[in-house]
Amino acid sequence: MGAWGFVSLAYGIVWGIILVYLVLLKRRYVNTAAELDALKSKEATRSDAKT
Amino acid sequence: MAQSSQTKKRKGILGALVLVAGAIGLFWSLVVAPPDAYQGNVQRIMYLHLPSILTAYLSYFLVFVGSALYLWKREKRDDLLAHSAAEIGVLFTALTIIEGSIWGRPTWGVWWTWDARLTLTAILLLIYVGYLMLRSLIEDENRAASAAAVLGIIGFLDIPLIHMSVYWWRTLHQPPSILRPDKVPWENVHPSMLTALAISFAGFLLLYFYLLSLRYRLGEMREEIKARRLERGT
């Protein structure tokens, strides 16, 4: 492999891993936010039913 | 979701800045900066390698600060900062080792060698992987946070060792070209190379703070879910 091959490999792997981490982090974020929203709306429904 | 539109806007701006800095950094590193006089084009890996490890060091510094504050004040937000920074620190340390390995093959002839600096960096990675594992292995949250905080503080001591390893031991890894006590950077490195490095580092820092803000907010939301469930007794 030539110099540019090693450079491409390094840049490709690094940005690829960062992209994968970002996607996974966003997915965890969105799922947790949805769970929190569902919990909040459930609590709101309960307190409405009590009053 | 409990996130103000202002926070969302700020995150959007930070995300856009990451993309712009990343694109300029990539262009400068691969096109504008000249090839190294000895190593040729393969030296361009440095524009990833140095910013990655400096970002990892910053991350572990935040783990150190968050851990020390948590042990002192016992506030959850400090532990959350340390935990978030440790996860992203592990990412950047792993990237540093991968980049170094790819750079090592054409310059040293090997993908890996048990050189002092490389070995100490691998130990750094293992310490913080251990930090993350420790948190998931201990069931009691407060105990897990305390044990992790102690490890987070001890682990940080590896960083000065990594920095000084090239002076203390005979190593294959080169001594610093830029952060040298006897020379200012522009006496030793071509200005265009320094610019590429600065832009690349700025891009990594912006990316780091973007990831950290996401990871921290994720931790906050998890804490809120736990607190609400505890309140409801579920």
What's the rounded Cα separation, in Å, for the pair B92 and B121?
A: 11
Identify the burial level of B114 via C-beta atoms within 10 angstroms of its C-beta, where 0-12 means exposed, 13-18 middle and 19 or more buried.
Answer: exposed
Residue B144 neighbours by CB distance under 10 Å? 17
Higher pLDDT, B32 or A1: B32
Distance in angstroms (rounded) separating the CA atoms of residues B89 and B56: 5
Rounded Cα–Cα distance for residues B145 and B43 (Å): 41
Expressed as residue numbers, the domain containing A29 is 17-51
Q: Is B7's pLDDT higher than 60?
A: yes
What integer is the mean pLDDT of B126-152?
94
Report chain B's mean pLDDT, rounded to a whole number.
90
Residue B175 φ then ψ, to 5°: -70, 165
- Where residue A7 falls (left for φ over 0; alpha for ψ -120 to 50; beta otherwise) is alpha
Q: Which of A33, A40, A43, A15 is nearest to B98 (CA)?
A: A15
| B225 vs A contacts (CB less than 8 Å) | 32, 35-36, 39
Q: Which of residues 103-142 of B touch A (CB under 8 A)?
A: 103, 105-106
Cβ atoms of B118 and B169 closer than 8 Å: no
Side chain identity at residue A16, one-letter code: G
Q: Give me the number of domains chain A comprises.
A: 1
Alpha-carbon span B179 to B94, nearest angstrom: 22
Question: Does residue A4 fall inside a structural domain?
Answer: no
Flag whether A1 is in a domain: no
pTM for the complete prediction? 0.90
The verdict on residue A34 lying in a domain is yes
The reply to whether A38 falls in a domain is: yes
CA atoms of B141 and B137, how far apart (whole Å):
10
**Any chain B CB within 8 A of the CB of A37?**
yes
Specify whether the CB–CB gap between B203 and B56 falls below 8 A. no
Task: Note whether A13 contacts B102, CB cutoff 8 Å.
Answer: yes
Q: Which carries the bigger pLDDT value, residue B191 or residue B211?
A: B211
Residue B184 has pLDDT above 70, yes or no: no
Q: What is the ipTM of this complex?
A: 0.88
Q: A29-43, B50-64, B122-136: which has the minimum mean pLDDT?
A: A29-43
List the single best residue of A36, A40, A46 to mutate versus B (max B Cβ within 10 A).
Answer: A36
Question: Which residues in chain A have Cβ-Cβ distances shorter than 8 Å to B45?
Answer: 6-7, 10
Query: Averaged in consecutive runs of 10 residues, what is the pLDDT profile of chain A (51 residues)?
Result: 92 95 96 93 79 66
